[in-house]
Amino acid sequence: MPKAIWNNRVIAESTDTVMVEGNHYFPPNSISQEFFAPTDTTTVCHWKGTASYFTLTVDGEQNRDAAWSYAEPKEAAENIRGHYAFWKGVTVTE
């Protein structure tokens, strides 16, 4: 089962991830919300739309903008609406 791990804690876990461009996108009900805080950072993908970023805080340590999500994706990326993906040292295992 895919798991996202940072700072030795599982922050997301699901058998229902969606793979896009080599990233596991975890459904919203699979993340541990207490570790996520929204930031003002956004990026734009020409086919997915605008991504919003989240800082992870685990055991007092922060990883700024380490997760992102598409709340209102373009039609081509509708299958990842509200899902979360990770980078910046977050390990995703299968």
Q: In this predicted structure, what is the pLDDT of residue 10?
A: 98
pTM: 0.96
3-93 adopts what CATH topology? 2.170.150
* Tens digit of pLDDT at every position of the chain (94 positions): 999 999 999 999 999 999 999 999 999 999 999 999 999 999 999 999 999 999 999 999 999 999 999 999 999 999 999 999 999 999 999 8
CA-nearest of 42, 1, 27, 7 to 84 is 27
Please, are residues 16 and 71 in contact by the beta-carbon 8 Å criterion? no
Measured distance CA(3)–CA(83) in Å, rounded = 14
Measured distance CA(47)–CA(5) in Å, rounded = 28
